[in-house]
C-alpha cells in the first residue's frame, strides 16, 4: 500500500511537470490554458489520494477530499471566466481560421 501511495505521488508530480512543459511549448493562449487548467487538476487528485493513503488519518483524508472538490469546482470556472474575458480582447485564430468571429459575423 505504501508503494502504491508513492507511485501516485510521483505520477501526480509528473503530470504537473507535463502541464508546465505544455504551458511553455504551446503556441497560443487557449492551447496554453488547456495545458494549465486540466493537467494540474488531475495531478492534484492523484497526489491527494497518494497523500491520504500515506498520512492515513481521517482528518487528512477529509481535508484532502475537500481540497479536491474545491479544485474541481473552481478550476473550470476560473478557466472559463479567463477565456471569456480574453476572448473579447484578442482575436486568436485556431488552425488559421478564427471560427468564432466568423460565426458571429455571419449572424448565427
Partner 1 sequence: MNVVAMIMLSIGAAGFVYRLVRGPDLPDRVVGLDGLLSVIVIGIIVAAARSDNGSITIETVLVAVFVGFVGTAALARFIERRGN
Q: Which ranges in the chain belong to alpha helices (H)?
A: 2-25, 29-55, 58-89, 99-105
How many amino acids of this chain bind partner 1 (CB under 8 A)? 53
d(CA 12, CA 44): 7
Cell output for 68: 479536491
Give one DSSP letter per residue of 59-86, joined into a string.
Answer: HHHHHHHHHHHHHHHHHHHHHHHHHHHH
Tell me the three state secondary structure of residue 97: strand
Q: Is 54 in the site for partner 1 (CB under 8 A)?
A: yes
Task: Check residue 91 for interaction with partner 1 (CB under 8 A).
Answer: no
Q: Which residue has the cell 497518494?
A: 50
Rule CB under 8 A: choose which of 1, 4, 27, 48 binds partner 1: 48
CB of 100 to partner 1, least distance (A): 16
Among 1, 4, 29, 102, binds partner 1 (CB under 8 A): 29
82 binds partner 1 (CB under 8 A): yes
The residues that touch partner 1, with contacts defined as CB under 8 A, are 5-6, 9-10, 12-14, 16-24, 29, 32-33, 36-37, 40-41, 43-44, 47-48, 50-51, 54-55, 57, 59-60, 63-64, 66-67, 70-71, 74-75, 77-79, 81-82, 84-86, 88-90
Amino acid at each position: 500500500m505504501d508503494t502504491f501511495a508513492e507511485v501516485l505521488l510521483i505520477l501526480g508530480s509528473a503530470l504537473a511537470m507535463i502541464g508546465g512543459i505544455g504551458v511553455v511549448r504551446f503556441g497560443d493562449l487557449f492551447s496554453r490554458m488547456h495545458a494549465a487548467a486540466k493537467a494540474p487538476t488531475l495531478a492534484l487528485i492523484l497526489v491527494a489520494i497518494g497523500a491520504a493513503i500515506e498520512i492515513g488519518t481521517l482528518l487528512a483524508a477529509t481535508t484532502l477530499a475537500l481540497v479536491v472538490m474545491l479544485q474541481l469546482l473552481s478550476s473550470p470556472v476560473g478557466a472559463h471566466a479567463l477565456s471569456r474575458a480574453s476572448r473579447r480582447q484578442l482575436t486568436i485564430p485556431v488552425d488559421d481560421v478564427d471560427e468564432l468571429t466568423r460565426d458571429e459575423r455571419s449572424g448565427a
